Structure formats: C-alpha cells, structure tokens
Amino acid sequence: MGLTGVTLHGNHNTPRHVHVYRDGKFIVKWDLENQKAMKGQAPRRVVKLILELDSEGHL
Amino acid sequence: MKIRAVIGNNRKKAFEVKTSTRTLVFPYAKVVPQPTARDPLERVFVDQELDQEGFTYVLTSGREGTVHLEQVLEFNQDPGYLRDALLYKLTIEAQNRVQASPLSKREIIRRLGTSATQLYRLLDQTNYRKSIDQLLFLLHVLDCDVNLIVRAHRARPGRAA
C-alpha cells in the first residue's frame, strides 16, 4: 500500500497518535488512545491496519 | 505547516528547522539515536515521504532517526500547535459529555441557541476552525465546569527557567 507512519508518544498536550502518509502525501493523524481521526480521514483498510499494528505492539 | 529546510548545528548541538514562518530549534538531546562527538551527524534532510512534515538524519555509524514537525512545535511550545491540542482535548471531552448527558441533542441545540449543523461542527474532532469559547459554551450547557491550570515551565537547557 506504500504507507509510512510516524508514531508520537502521548503527553499532557496530546494523546499517543500516529501520522500516516501514502506515497509522500498525508492521509490521517490517528489518535491511538481514543481510536479517532485527529486530522484527515482514514480509509477503513488503513484504520484496520493501524489497529492491527497497534495491537501487535508495533506502534 | 511544512518544513522548508533543516540543518544540524553541531556548535549548538541542535537541529535548526526552517518553516514558512520561522526557524525552530530541536536539541540533539531529544532524539534517538543522538548525534555525539563519537558518532556525529553525517547528513540531515527534509523527508519527502512525510509530506515535508518531518526530517530524517543519518549518523556516521549509519544509524538514522526521524523527527516529526509536531515534536519540534511541541518542544518550542508553538501557540498554534498548543491551541489545536487544547481544542482536540476539549472536543473529545464534549463528545463524551454529550454521550453521557441526559439531555437530548435537540435540547442541547436549543440551549446553545444554534443549529444542528453547528453542534455537529463543534463535535467534529477534526475541525480546528471552531473557537475554544464555542466549545466552552457547549460544555457549560452540558453542566460542566472547565478549569484552566497554568503551570510554570520546568527548566530547559538553553532557556531561562
């Protein structure tokens, strides 16, 4: 799918989240604590992939 | 916001990140792996894979790391970044309060004196164009008190405490 992700640890300002890019274009900033998009919109299969990676401890 | 350019300043032991509006610093001490005298910075570049929202650096040993612009904005306490973070937190809280409230959506809309569209705009966590006072009013309608806590910064290297 050509996805790139950067996970940022949560702190008192923001929850733990991941920025997802496809082919160098921003797709979504996803809140891993509340399971919601913080910015942008995630296609269902991207959300599924994020949830899988997070549950496996890769994020 | 995009990164226009990034350089490693070994004298300051920090990256200098240039955006369209300003130049921000991000200390080497905040990254892993960290550039050191034994393993110095070989090169650093704006990462196109991250839509110019991050940069990647490579050390002489070949180890590399990536820094997202948000980390830089957070370290520099950028007001726009902090505002959006506060707005997001308040929106999530408002969503939870609306869910738990005995008031119907119609009643909330009536008390807000607004339209359904406006309420959904307020409850959309991806919308950063709404104002904080509108959200505070919604939380007030939901019978919530919002307390703002102002704390002194912890001392940071290179910054007056």
Place of tokens 């950067």: A6
- CA B106 to CA B116: how far, in whole Å? 8
- CA B61 to CA B139: how far, in whole Å? 53
Query: Which residues of A are less than 8 Å from B85 in CB distance?
Result: 13-14
Residue B151 lies in a domain: no
What is chain A's mean pLDDT, rounded?
Answer: 89
Interhelix angle B105-112/B116-123, rounded to 10 degrees, is 100
- CA A42 to CA A22: how far, in whole Å? 11
Single pTM value for the model = 0.86
**Same-domain check for residues B27 and B63:** yes
Inter-chain residue contact B85 with A14, CB threshold 8 Å: yes
**Same-domain check for residues B70 and B112:** no
Which domain, by its residues, includes B10? 3-75
What is the full DSSP assignment across B34-78?
PP-SSS-EEEEEE-GGGTTSEEEEEETTS-EEEEEHHHHHHHTT-
Interface contact A2, partner B, CB < 8 A: no
pLDDT at residue B159 in the model: 52
Q: How much of chain B, in percent, has pLDDT values that exceed 70?
A: 95
**Same-domain check for residues B67 and B131:** no
Residue B45 lies in a domain: yes
Best A1, A11, A21 member to test B by mutation, with max B CBs in 10 Å, is A21
Residue B66 lies in a domain: yes
Sequence spans of domains, chain A: 3-55
CA dihedral B1, A15, A39, A28 (to 10 degrees): 90
Residue B152 lies in a domain: no
Strands A25-31, B41-46: pairing kind: unpaired
Structural element, H or E, at residue B112: helix B105-112
**Same-domain check for residues B24 and B58:** yes
**Same-domain check for residues B15 and B36:** yes
Q: What is the pLDDT of residues B89-146, one digit of tens each?
A: 999 999 999 999 999 999 999 999 999 999 999 999 999 999 999 999 999 999 998 8
**Same-domain check for residues B86 and B49:** no
Query: Which residues of B are less than 8 Å from A19 in CB distance?
Result: 50, 53-54, 68, 70
Residue B158 lies in a domain: no
Of the candidates B101, B102, B83, B97, the one whose C-alpha atom is nearest the C-alpha of residue B146 is B97
**Same-domain check for residues B124 and B94:** yes
What is the full DSSP assignment across A8-57?
E---SSS-SEEEEEETTEEEEEEETTTTEEEEE---HHHHHHHHHHHHTT
Query: Which residues of A are less than 8 Å from B68 in CB distance?
Result: 6, 8, 19
B19/chain A closest Cα distance in angstroms: 17
Bridge partners for B3 per DSSP: B19
Inter-chain residue contact A24 with B51, CB threshold 8 Å: yes
Interface contact A8, partner B, CB < 8 A: yes
**Same-domain check for residues B99 and B56:** no
Residue B156 lies in a domain: no
Q: What is the pLDDT of residues A4-59, one digit of tens each?
A: 878 777 777 899 999 999 999 999 999 999 999 999 998 999 999 999 988 888 78
**Same-domain check for residues B83 and B125:** yes
Side-chain-facing half-sphere of B120: CA atoms under 13 Å: 4
**Same-domain check for residues B63 and B95:** no
What one-letter code names the amino acid at B143?
D
Inter-chain residue contact B66 with A6, CB threshold 8 Å: yes
Cross-chain CB nearest to B68 (options A19, A40, A41): A19
**Same-domain check for residues B71 and B133:** no
**Same-domain check for residues B7 and B24:** yes
Query: Which residues of B are less than 8 Å from A41 in CB distance?
Result: 126
Could you give the ipTM of this predicted complex? Answer: 0.88
Number of domain units in chain B: 2
B104/chain A closest Cα distance in angstroms: 23
The yes-or-no verdict on residue B160 having pLDDT over 60 is no
Interface contact A35, partner B, CB < 8 A: no
Residue B106 lies in a domain: yes
Inter-chain residue contact A36 with B128, CB threshold 8 Å: no
